[in-house]
């Protein structure tokens, strides 16, 4: 699992690990190992370069890794076209949110005043999404990097930052469902290619983009949500018969 314990990718990875062994010949035991670092980059590099190529190692990595070489070459030591993308555990719906005490309560507020958001690294969705929104819909998000997954959530609750931008709704409902049920957060905008029926009245970021070129750029960022929770294996595997 390319993240630390407690987040959405970890929860999905452990759910897969609890069941997938029954569907593999020989019914092997499955051990879940966390390898956090750079929002999944460390784990993806390991799978590409170092993991045994015998089917014994699968990776639950950030969906951003499917397009990571498009955005930066820094730290990237893999070719996504040469990995085995086995499937996904589900699509994602990403949101931007702020804590209920934040003065930034709507996406329009975020266009008028600075809103700090926590991020695990400069290359992950929590940093990439707000920076893109700053460029295409002129929000004023300020990314504070260096948190782990659990630390990002605590930073919101403690008021160290205003909120999070790029968090998956499934992650939110897995790790902090009380934020929604107890109305602890303001949901600013939906980051999807099409409207989710669960949020019929929430502003969609893509609808706020007026420049066609900017809209295309945002679509490239948002399309990884269709990839969702990918499971990947090394690019060449020798399976013993």
DSSP characters over the chain: --S-TTSHHHHHHHHHHHHGGGGSTT----------SGGGHHHHHHHHHTS-SSS---EE--GGGGTHHHH--TT----GGGSEEEEES----EEEEEETTSS--SHHHHHHS-EEEEES-SSSHHHHHHHHHHHHT---EEEEE---HHHHHHHHHHTSSSEEEEEEHHHHHHH-HHHHHTT-EEEEEEESSS--TT-TTSPBGGGG--SHHHHHHHHHHHTHHHH-SEEEE-SS-----
pLDDT of residue 220: 84
> pLDDT tens, 124-172?
778 889 999 999 999 999 999 988 878 899 999 999 999 999 998 888 8
pLDDT of residue 93: 87
At 224, list the tokens: 């990884």
Of the ranges 60-64, 66-70, 103-107, 222-226, the best mean pLDDT one:
103-107
Backbone angles phi, psi at 166, to 5 degrees: 110, 10
Evaluate if residue 62 carries a pLDDT over 90.
no
Q: Write the Ramachandran bin of 90: left for phi over 0, alpha for psi from -120 to 50, otherwise beta.
A: left
- Of 149 and 234, the structure prediction assigns the larger pLDDT to 234
Evaluate if residue 22 carries a pLDDT over 80.
yes
What is this structure's pTM?
0.71
Average pLDDT of the residues of the chain: 89
Backbone angles phi, psi at 175, to 5 degrees: -90, -35
Alpha carbons within 13 A on the beta-carbon side of 111:
13
pLDDT of residue 204: 93
pLDDT of residue 162: 98
Confidence bin at 240 (pLDDT 50/70/90): low
Backbone angles phi, psi at 90, to 5 degrees: 150, 150
> pLDDT tens, 31-61?
999 998 877 889 999 999 999 998 899 999 9
At 63, list the tokens: 């969906």
Confidence bin at 117 (pLDDT 50/70/90): very high
Give the Cα-Cα-Cα angle 39, 169, 20 (nearest 5 degrees): 70
> pLDDT tens, 132-141?
999 999 999 9
The residue-averaged pLDDT of 184-195 equals: 91
pLDDT of residue 14: 92
Q: Please return the burial class of 55, using the count of CB atoms within 10 Å of its CB with bins 0-12, 13-18 and 19+.
A: middle
Evaluate if residue 241 carries a pLDDT over 70.
no
């Amino acid at each position: 699992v390319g993240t630390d314990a407690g987040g959405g990718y970890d929860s999905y990875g452990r759910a897969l690990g609890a069941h997938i062994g029954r569907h593999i010949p020989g019914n092997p035991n499955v051990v879940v190992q966390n390898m956090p670092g750079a929002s999944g980059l460390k784990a993806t590099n390991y799978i590409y370069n170092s993991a045994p190529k015998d089917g014994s190692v699968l990776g639950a990595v950030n969906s951003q890794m499917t397009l990571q070489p498009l955005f930066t070459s820094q730290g990237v030591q893999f070719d996504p076209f040469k990995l085995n993308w086995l499937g996904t555990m589900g699509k994602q719906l990403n949101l931007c949110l702020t804590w209920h005490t934040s003065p930034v309560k709507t996406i329009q507020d975020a266009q008028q005043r600075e809103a700090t958001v926590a991020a695990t690294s400069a290359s992950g969705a929590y940093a990439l999404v707000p920076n893109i929104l700053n460029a295409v819909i002129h929000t004023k998000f300020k990314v504070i990097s260096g948190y782990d997954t659990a630390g990002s959530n605590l930073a919101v609750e403690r008021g160290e930052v205003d909120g999070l931008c790029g968090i998956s709704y499934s992650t939110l409902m897995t790790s902090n469902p009380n934020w929604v049920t107890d109305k602890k957060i303001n949901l600013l905008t939906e980051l999807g290619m099409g409207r989710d029926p669960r949020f019929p009245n929430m502003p969609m970021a893509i609808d706020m983009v007026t420049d066609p070129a900017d809209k295309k750029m945002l679509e490239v960022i948002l399309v990884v949500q269709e990839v969702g929770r990918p499971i990947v294996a090394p690019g060449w595997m020798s399976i013993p018969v």
